[in-house]
Amino acid sequence: MKTTKTKTPVIIPVENIVPFDGHPYKVIDDDSMNDLVMSIQENGILEPLIVRPLEDTENKYEIISGHRRFRAAQKAGMSEIPAFIRAVNRDEAAIMLVNSNLHRERILPSEKAFAYKLKLEAVEHQGKTCGQVGHKSRDDISDTDSGRQVQRYIRLTNLIPELLDMMDEGKIAFSVGVELSFLSDELQYDVLNACEENVNTPSYAQAVRMHKAYNAGELDYESVYEIMCQPKANQREKVTIPLDRLQGKIPNSYTEQQQKDYIVKAVEYYHRYLQRQRDAR
């Protein structure tokens, strides 16, 4: 097995390269991937991969950087790929992998969550190997997020996949996901079912209530639904009426509250009028 650190890229057969085991970043076959495939077909791989020799194998390499390029090269039908070889162990490779991706322009909450978890485990393992148990902390994991924020991201790895996807899609707020991550998988699925049946998502206040009830041993299927069925101010439907439609119909001297009361009374009066009309038929 090669252990040389190469300053220039070497050409490696595609079948000798494998993705990093448990890497946290999603490789999606979307329009962006199709564009990358076309670029590689026309110009080849302009930026070589970074790989490491895989332990206990013969001429096998694990990707540290370049999972999307590797996938695109496969789709483009390439048989060989240029790569830099780095003779590092798995912990060192994990830290390199995470650090090389954390500053991307767009990174999903789930990707950041599993990236922080992967790096923390690698850092802690390095510390134990060097006899430095407890020397490292979550504050060493990121130069942009605090140790507490890193911990909150890692909490998200306890979410069921469906709720994690909803977070990535922006349907659930980060703070809500953190609170829900403390629930058991079974109760998280109850929350998911309630979301689908009520066509809504939990607010932060509702997520906190469920978290507290769970800690107290008081959260079950019925209480999840009861909490989720309560109306939320940010999810109530609103009706907007252009001001020019009300011009001359409401006294200009009325306050905003008086205008609202006037409109409600007018609607109630019209409702009673229609009711009398129907009763007279």
182 in a structural domain:
yes
Contacts of 130 (CB under 8 A, 6+ apart): none
**Domain span holding position 267:** 243-274
Model confidence at 117, in pLDDT bands (50, 70, 90)? very high
Contacts of 32 (CB under 8 A, 6+ apart): none
Asked whether residue 13 falls in the same domain as residue 53, the answer is yes
59 in a structural domain:
yes
Task: Quote the pLDDT of residue 85.
Answer: 95
**Residue ending a domain, choose from 111, 130, 157:** 157
Tally of domains in the chain: 4
Asked whether residue 48 falls in the same domain as residue 32, the answer is yes
The pTM of the full predicted model, rounded to 2 decimals, is: 0.72
279 in a structural domain:
no
**Mean pLDDT of all residues in 101-122:** 88
CA–CA distance, 175 with 194 (Å, rounded to integer): 19
- Residue 57 maps to which CATH number? 3.90.1530.10
**Token pair for 188:** 């998280």
143 in a structural domain:
yes
66 by DSSP, 3-state: which?
A: coil
Higher pLDDT, 212 or 141: 212
